Amino acid sequence: MEKFKAKWEIQNNWQLIFPLFGLIALFYSSFKLANVFFESPNLLLALPISLIIFYALLKLTLWIFKRLEHKWIVTYKWEMIRIFIVFAITGSSSVFVGRPLIAWAGITKENLNPVLYWVLFVIIGLIFYQILLVTFGWLLGQFQFFWEFEKKMLRRFGLGKFVD
């Protein structure tokens, strides 16, 4: 355990919640992917497949951490896990907010050209994504990182004059 704490620069035991939550979320995602790809209602078959997918996703995630370790400015390595959690929550939440909003406006794939519907859906999702990213970043103690990330993203969209 001490080797793990040293690798992720964990000073307090409460900080272990982020790697633990990350592993649980990664396994849940692996289990859901196993069910989607193999459509197996059998738990005995889904579990080993989930473990294989979990291992592959864990390797991919650790590789991504290595690549971003020097690009993202964070005080401790465990904060990168917290940042990934914020990205995951924000992505899911923007869909959960955008979909009902479009339905509330009466816009469906049936009454609008499907291409136009998806363009509108992505635009609305992006608007809420920006707001939720900073909000969840603040809630999980990474406001400064996500505020800088947000400003950079808005500059890329040509909206930098609104954040400078």
Could you tell me the pTM of the whole model?
0.75
Task: Say which residues have a Cβ less than 8 Å from residue 151's Cβ, sequence separation at least 6.
Answer: 160, 163, 164
Give the pLDDT of residue 39: 73
Residue-wise pLDDT tens for the chain (164 aa)?
A: 788 888 778 888 888 888 888 899 899 889 888 888 777 667 777 888 889 999 999 999 989 988 888 888 888 888 888 888 898 889 888 888 888 888 888 888 788 888 888 888 888 888 888 889 999 999 988 898 898 888 888 888 777 666 66
CA distance 135 to 38: 36
pLDDT tens per residue across span 103-123:
888 888 788 888 888 888 888
Q: Domain residues of the chain, as ranges? A: 1-71, 72-164
Give the pLDDT of residue 40: 63
- DSSP secondary structure code for residue 40 in this structure: -
Task: Say which residues have a Cβ less than 8 Å from residue 153's Cβ, sequence separation at least 6.
Answer: 130
Residue from 105, 102, 94, 100 nearest 121 by CA: 102
Residue 8 phi/psi, 5-degree rounding, is -95, 5
Burial class (CB in 10 A: 0-12, 13-18, 19+), 24: exposed
Task: Say which residues have a Cβ less than 8 Å from residue 36's Cβ, sequence separation at least 6.
Answer: none
